[in-house]
Amino acid sequence: MSLINTWCFTKTVIDWSAIEKATHNQYRVVSVRPYEDKKGKLPDGYSLTLMVLKDDYDYGIDKNGNPRENNLYQNFDVTVLNRNHDIIKGDIIRLLEFDSENSFAINFNMILRFKDCEIIQSQGGKSNA
């Protein structure tokens, strides 16, 4: 007989530094929503859907010998755990201070949380970098 409820005892490590390096840590904001932790453990912030603007990682080849597609122009969701910035759709941002304690993976879905972000280029075209 197998153990049950093993999720209580397992943790998947997310190598954010490898993702950050591959994508140059530059993402376009596709959508912004307010975030409030239902359990009250985490600070309020934003749930962001981001588009990958660069990806130069070599993902190797698949079982048929074809090169694997990269993540360029793919979307993913993150949570920024503060509201220190006026983030709007279209901004280009950099994610800061990966929160590994509150980030995790379920199957192939990653729940990524960050303590802060930086607006590199605002929708209005003003550069902050």
User: How far does the chain reach from its first CA to its final CA, in angstroms?
Assistant: 57
- Give residue-wise pLDDT tens across range 1-51: 677 777 677 777 899 999 999 999 999 999 999 999 999 999 999 999 999
The per-residue pLDDT for 123 is 81
pLDDT confidence of residue 124: 67
Which of 62, 56, 68, 46 lies closest to 117 in space, CA to CA?
46
Nearest to 93 by CA among 11, 21, 29: 29
pLDDT at position 93 is: 98
Amino acid at 112: L
**Four-way CATH pick for 10-121: 1.10.3470, 2.40.50, 2.40.128, 1.20.120:** 2.40.50
pLDDT at 108: 82
Contact yes or no for 104/12 (Cβ under 8 A):
yes
Q: Mean pLDDT over residues 91-115, rounded?
A: 93
Mean pLDDT of the chain: 91
Predicted confidence at residue 95, as pLDDT, reads: 98
| pLDDT digit string, tens, across residues 50-65 | 999 999 999 999 999 9
Q: What is the pLDDT of residues 65-76, one digit of tens each?
A: 999 999 999 999
